Amino acid sequence: MDERFNRWLLPPLLALLFLLIVYQYVSPACPGAACARRPPASAARRGGAPAEREEEEEAAAGTSEEEEAAEAAAALPRLVAKFPFARGELCRRVRFDMRGRDVIVFLHIQKTGGTTFGRHLVRNIRLEQPCYCRAGQKKCACHRPGGDKDTWLFSRFSTGWSCGLHADWTELTSCVPAAMERRGCAGNRTLRNFYYITMLRDPVSRYLSEWKHVQRGATWKTSLHMCDGRSPTPDELPTCYEGDDWSGVSLQEFMDCSYNLANNRQVRMLADLSLVGCYNLTFMNESERNMILLQSAKNNLKNMAFFGLTEFQRKTQYLFERTFNLKFISPFTQFNVTRASNVDIGEDVRQRIEELNFLDVQLYEYAKDLFLQRFQYSKQEEHQKNRLKRREERRLLREQRAHQSPREEAAEVAVTEDYNSQVARW
């Protein structure tokens, strides 16, 4: 009897146990608030609820921005500024209108790498209408886009020496507007914007390079040296040699000529000479003249649209491109081996050259500091712009994900409910 009873009782118990197990897995819903709704799989993959996910992304973004700022700071060498400059003096941006009346004027100082830079201007800039350069000719036609025969560049390789051989700041500022009109360029001169640029070089290297150039027969004796409407008299500007040139001159002879124009050439060519009576050395005492010349050269250099340094070719290229929003086709090349670098001089000779060029030494120190500060400011500005761009991209991505999330969750709920309804029917 007991065996028959157990035989009939066991199957219903096993069936009940099976139903309980099945019910546990396929239950259509949780009663009341006994269990929390399980988040969709997509939300789980993205890291939880939208609020938590957004907090995590913002924290990650903040960490990323801090890391980017640290990397940007580490990428730039630490610069100890020697001279204080205002933001407007460091941020150089020119809205250069090549189709309008804007003109770049290149002040070419001897032996500063100006010939190389001048060729970059006419042959290496990516232009809508490139300069037309004929084979075998130094000058190129740099016309404005759109068929205008007006030129946007005033330089040795575009307009020639229209204001005299190696014209200085004093000559160019008084000559260029009239020279542009004489070329038959259309338009009123008052509508033109002239942007002056130049190149500077370490004074000792530049001086040695000029000596080697003169030693090979260069003279520049056709330079006009115009100031206040006239050229200097022979008494105001005597020559250092007799005959056609100074070929074969020794370095000692070159240094011994007290009125050698190689001395402090960069300061003289960048200063307003009319402030000191031009080439009349009796106009004021020497110390006052030197102080005025140096300060004038600094001011003119600082206010130029752009200047570069021969010792920093890549930085020169970068700053020019940033200033004028123009791009070079090929990168600049830094030549560390030059005729000047091949000259073996002692420390006493170097000191003597620095004494002869003491104004240029001070100007170059000022120019180098300003140049490097401008480069660092531009790089920091570029990094900041890139960080803001990446931050905006992350914000847009978060918004895009936020718009997609409700649709994905709704799709997950629809799929779950449809599956549960099918199980209930089964």
Q: What is the pLDDT of residue 124?
A: 97
Give SS3 for 127. Answer: coil
Q: Label residue 33 by pLDDT band (50, 70, 90).
A: very low
Distance from C-alpha of 288 to C-alpha of 265, rounded to nearest angstrom: 18
Query: In this structure, are residues 28 and 361 in contact, taking their beta carbons and an 8 Å threshold?
Result: no
Q: What is the pLDDT of residue 43?
A: 43
Q: What is the pLDDT of residue 349?
A: 97
Q: What is the pLDDT of residue 360?
A: 98
Give SS3 for 57. Answer: helix
More confident: 60 or 126: 126
Strand segments (E) across 86-159? 102-107, 132-133, 140-141, 153-154
Position 2 pLDDT exceeds 70:
no
Q: Write out the DSSP string of 328-375.
A: BSS--------TTTT----HHHHHHHHHHTHHHHHHHHHHHHHHHHHH
Q: What is the pLDDT of residue 301?
A: 98
Q: Is the whole-model pTM more than 0.85?
A: no
Distance from C-alpha of 400 to C-alpha of 206, rounded to nearest angstrom: 59
CB neighbourhood size of 222 (10 A): 9
Distance from C-alpha of 417 to C-alpha of 407, rounded to nearest angstrom: 16
Query: In this structure, are residues 156 and 118 in contact, taking their beta carbons and an 8 Å threshold?
Result: yes
Beta strand 153-154 pairing with 132-133: unpaired
Q: Out of 24-38, 250-264, 321-335, 393-407, which region has the weakest mean confidence (pLDDT)?
A: 24-38
Q: What is the pLDDT of residue 310?
A: 97
Q: Out of 75-79, 99-103, 265-269, 322-326, which region has the weakest mean confidence (pLDDT)?
A: 75-79
Average pLDDT over residues 125-143: 94
Average pLDDT over residues 184-212: 86
Average pLDDT across the chain, whole number = 85
Token representation of residue 383: 């990094």
Q: Which of 175, 174, 127, 133 is nearest to 152 (CA)?
A: 127
Q: Label residue 36 by pLDDT band (50, 70, 90).
A: very low
More confident: 411 or 31: 411
Instruction: Return all residues near 47 (Cβ < 8 A) that are at least 6 apart.
Output: 53, 56
More confident: 164 or 404: 164
Position 44 pLDDT exceeds 60:
no
Q: What is the pLDDT of residue 147?
A: 75
Average pLDDT over residues 269-294: 97
Active site residues: 166
Position 46 pLDDT exceeds 50:
no
Tally of CA atoms within 13 A in the half-sphere of 131 that contains its CB? 25
Q: Label residue 66 by pLDDT band (50, 70, 90).
A: low
Q: What is the pLDDT of residue 122?
A: 98
Average pLDDT over residues 215-229: 96
Q: What is the pLDDT of residue 40?
A: 46
Phi, psi values for residue 63, rounded to 5°: -60, -40
Distance from C-alpha of 178 to C-alpha of 11, rounded to nearest angstrom: 116
Q: Label residue 421 by pLDDT band (50, 70, 90).
A: low
Distance from C-alpha of 274 to C-alpha of 145, rounded to nearest angstrom: 38
Q: What is the pLDDT of residue 35?
A: 40
Q: What is the pLDDT of residue 279?
A: 97
Phi, psi values for residue 218, rounded to 5°: -70, 145
More confident: 385 or 359: 359
Q: What is the pLDDT of residue 403?
A: 81
Q: What is the pLDDT of residue 47?
A: 47
pLDDT in tens, 310-330: 999 999 999 999 999 999 999
Average pLDDT over residues 185-212: 87
Query: In this structure, are residues 156 and 106 in contact, taking their beta carbons and an 8 Å threshold?
Result: yes
Position 142 pLDDT exceeds 60:
yes
Position 237 pLDDT exceeds 70:
yes
Q: Label residue 5 by pLDDT band (50, 70, 90).
A: low
Q: Label residue 30 by pLDDT band (50, 70, 90).
A: very low
Give SS3 for 147. Answer: coil
